[in-house]
Copies of this chain bind each other. A is one copy, B any other.
């Protein structure tokens, strides 16, 4: 029974749990040292654990680092929009039968939005529609 190789199974920019935790901090802050990332994650994640994850992420070309004093400062290489696009695609296909509408409906059902937020979301749709018409 064939099983795909580890490489081909993993689609691009898909992060494991912990990896995503760490990427999330880097996306928010723009960059971070091990200690900074750990501060955000909380004390229940070991220092060396965070370090190791960052090294793993570096091995996957998801982050890079620069020397800063004695420490390393890590920068994300993968854009959050790219990772988000992939994650959304997966959620949309696996859970919402490929329907963006169903996805949106669930999104707005699970949270209250202010008029301003909804207005801005509407204009996002407007822009998408204009782009559509241009073609």
Pairwise interchain contact B88-A27, C-beta atoms closer than 8 A: no
Chain B residues near A67: list those with CB within 8 A.
none
Number of copies: 2
Q: Does A39 contact B (CB under 8 A)?
A: no
Pairwise interchain contact B84-A95, C-beta atoms closer than 8 A: yes
Q: A4-B44, A95-B84, A113-B100 are in contact. Are A105 and B124 (CB under 8 A)?
A: yes
Given contacts A80-B95, A85-B110, A105-B124, 17 further A-B contacts (CB under 8 A): A1-B46, A20-B94, A23-B94, A24-B93, A81-B106, A81-B109, A84-B103, A85-B109, A100-B121, A101-B121, A103-B107, A104-B107, A109-B128, A112-B132, A113-B129, A115-B129, A118-B132
A residues within 8 Å of B by Cβ?
Answer: 1-4, 20-21, 23-24, 27-28, 44, 46, 80-81, 83-85, 87-89, 91-97, 100-115, 117-118, 120-122, 124-125, 127-129, 132
